[in-house]
């Protein structure tokens, strides 16, 4: 139900950081690693939010219902 808003938020933020990731001017040695970490965090948190947490929720909900 929340797939589209979560994906759109993550993708637009990651696309906004692409210029920092590809920059080569003054100060880019600080901005490039920061952009890399933020984009990696966005990808990781999106995967956790959309796939891992719902899977754990279903797994524990099924186990709790059988007792």
pLDDT in tens, 9-65: 999 999 999 999 999 888 889 899 999 999 999 999 999 999 998 898 888 886 665
What pLDDT, on a 0 to 100 scale, did the predictor assign at position 65?
59
User: What global pTM score does this model have?
Assistant: 0.76
Q: How far apart are CA 19 and CA 32, in angstroms?
A: 9
Q: Which residues are CB-contacts of 38 (< 8 A; sequence separation ≥ 6)?
A: 13, 17
> What does the domain layout of the chain look like in residue ranges?
32-60
Helical packing angle, 28-47 and 3-22, nearest 10°: 160
pLDDT surpassing 60 at residue 67: no
Backbone angles phi, psi at 42, to 5 degrees: -65, -45
């Amino acid at each position: 139900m929340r797939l589209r808003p979560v994906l759109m938020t993550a993708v637009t933020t990651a696309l906004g950081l692409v210029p920092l990731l590809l920059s080569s001017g003054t100060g880019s040695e600080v901005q490039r690693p920061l952009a890399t970490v933020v984009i990696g965090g966005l990808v990781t948190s999106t995967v956790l939010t959309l796939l891992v947490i719902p899977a754990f929720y279903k797994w524990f909900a099924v186990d709790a219902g059988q007792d």
